[in-house]
């Protein structure tokens, strides 16, 4: 079952709304933030990004990453900031070559031997200390009533990139799960450890909430989902708790369908982020034991208009009675008009 934690600072007068909801409260106006709210739809982001030689350097430059994190917070009444970083920083820190080519997805080099990576687990977090510095800078600049979220890619999702060498339809990685079960489990174990260290470091540096992005939870049969998603998420959270970190967790098993029920029954997250498919009834069922987040369609946000207003209203009505965090079901698209973001905020937060 899910433990509802009362995180440090969740009781003061300036307690962020996000932390209240993650402690199990239902708020008349739900907190709101958007996945990829720091990103290419903002002209100030594009200008900032142009000052860095490549995407990884940009993520690991605390001054620039903190500025990227804060840009949407200046423009919009978002309830939370999420540290600007990438889920593929960990493979890089473990010794696999990771590059982002302009206009293409990430390209990863040959997967290093497991033993080599295993020796790098502790050092990998040190190599990502810039993310900690970004968090400290953002926390210092952000109003106390706005929460700061740290995150990591979940092991299976990160493993799919490491195995396939980039973005893929994951059939190679899923086949690998069947044909090389021990090698995959070994890789997942390394990622569990490295991710736990990384999240502990983020919490110590100022992250008040920790999110696990399992972006590729789709198309996994139940046995693989238990082995590759549920188990690793449980072990990460256990390790983070063992380090004395009580920051609430948001789990995002994207595309997991009915297996999300398995997930919330076993993984002690304080909220589950839902993808665009989330039905009203299923979300309410989840709210019996956990807070929920989501799940506006980014394509509808981009399209805008009266249909957007209607859908936002529907979501507020169907889920607003329980612990609910307003968000998209997937990241905001680069060509989303800023006025549409303002339109949603006006409806959710009011003016």
Task: List contacts with its own copies (CB under 8 A).
Answer: 171, 174-175, 178-179, 181, 218-225, 255-262, 275-282, 295, 297, 299-300, 302-303, 305, 307, 311, 314, 329
Residue of 41, 45, 161, 198 marked active site: 161
Question: Parallel, antiparallel, or unpaired for β 249-253 and 271-273?
Answer: parallel
Catalytic one of 41, 45, 61, 86:
86
11 CB burial (10 A radius; 0-12, 13-18, 19+): exposed
Of 115 and 335, nearer to its own copies (C-beta) is: 335
d(CA 234, CA 245): 15
Residue 301 β-bridge partners: none
Catalytic residue among 49, 118, 311, 347: 49
Residue 43 or residue 221: which is nearer to its own copies going by CB? 221
CB of 304 to its own copies, least distance (A): 9
Centroid of chain to Cα 123: 23
Q: How far is the CB of 334 from its own copies (least distance, A)?
A: 13
Identity of the residue, 99 or 302, whose beta carbon is nearer to its own copies in the bound complex: 302
Compare residues 52 and 224 and give the one whose CB is closer to its own copies.
224
36 assigned to active site: yes
Closest CA to 300 of 271, 330, 262: 330
- Least Å distance, CB 30 to its own copies, is 18
CB of 311 to its own copies, least distance (A): 7
Q: Output the CA–CA distances (angstroms, integers) from residue 138 to 83, 202, 227, in the order listed.
A: 8, 12, 36
- Is 99 one of the catalytic residues? no
Dihedral angle sign, alpha carbons of residues 11, 2, 323, 71: positive
Which tokens is 76 given?
A: 């919009």
Minimum distance from CB of 318 to its own copies (Å)?
9
Residues 200, 204, 209, 214: what is their CA dihedral angle, to the nearest 10 degrees?
-30
Whether 331 and 36 have beta carbons less than 8 Å apart is answered as yes
Closer CB to its own copies, residue 77 or residue 333? 333
Instruction: For residue 161, indicate whether it is catalytic.
Output: yes
* Active site annotation includes 347: no
User: Quick one: CA torsion of 22, 159, 205, 349, rounded to 10 degrees?
Assistant: -40
Indicate which residues carry an active-site annotation: 36, 40, 49, 86, 161
């Amino acid at each position: 079952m899910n433990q509802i934690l009362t995180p440090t600072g969740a009781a003061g007068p300036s307690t962020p709304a996000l932390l209240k909801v993650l402690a199990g409260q239902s708020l008349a106006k739900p907190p709101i933030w958007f996945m990829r709210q720091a990103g290419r739809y903002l002209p100030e982001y594009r200008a900032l990004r142009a000052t860095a030689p490549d995407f990884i350097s940009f993520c690991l430059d605390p001054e620039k990453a903190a500025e990227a994190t804060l840009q949407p917070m200046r423009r919009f009444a978002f309830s939370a900031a999420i540290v600007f970083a990438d889920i593929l920083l960990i493979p890089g820190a473990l010794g696999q070559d990771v590059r982002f080519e302009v206009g293409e997805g990430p390209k990863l080099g040959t997967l290093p031997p497991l033993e080599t990576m295993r020796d790098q687990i502790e050092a990998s977090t040190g190599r990502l200390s810039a993310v900690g510095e970004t968090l400290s800078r953002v926390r210092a600049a952000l109003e106390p009533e706005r929460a700061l979220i740290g995150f990591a890619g979940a092991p299976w999702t990160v493993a799919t990139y490491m195995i396939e060498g980039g973005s893929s339809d994951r059939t190679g990685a899923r086949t690998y799960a069947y044909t090389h079960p021990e090698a995959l489990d070994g890789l997942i174990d390394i990622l569990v450890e490295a991710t736990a260290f990384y999240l502990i470091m983020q919490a110590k540096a100022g992250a008040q909430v920790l999110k696990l992005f399992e972006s590729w939870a789709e198309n996994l049969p139940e046995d693989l989902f238990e082995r590759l998603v549920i188990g690793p998420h449980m072990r990460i959270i256990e390790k983070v708790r063992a380090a004395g970190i009580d920051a609430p967790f948001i789990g995002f098993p994207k595309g997991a369908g009915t297996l999300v029920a398995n997930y919330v029954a076993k993984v002690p997250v304080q909220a589950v982020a839902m993808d665009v498919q989330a039905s009203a009834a299923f979300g309410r069922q989840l709210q019996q034991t956990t807070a929920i987040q989501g799940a506006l369609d980014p394509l509808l946000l981009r399209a805008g208009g009266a249909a957007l207003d209607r859908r936002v209203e529907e979501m507020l009505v169907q889920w607003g009675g329980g612990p609910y965090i307003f968000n998209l079901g997937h990241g905001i698209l680069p060509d989303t008009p800023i006025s549409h973001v303002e339109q949603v905020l006006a409806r959710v937060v009011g003016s």
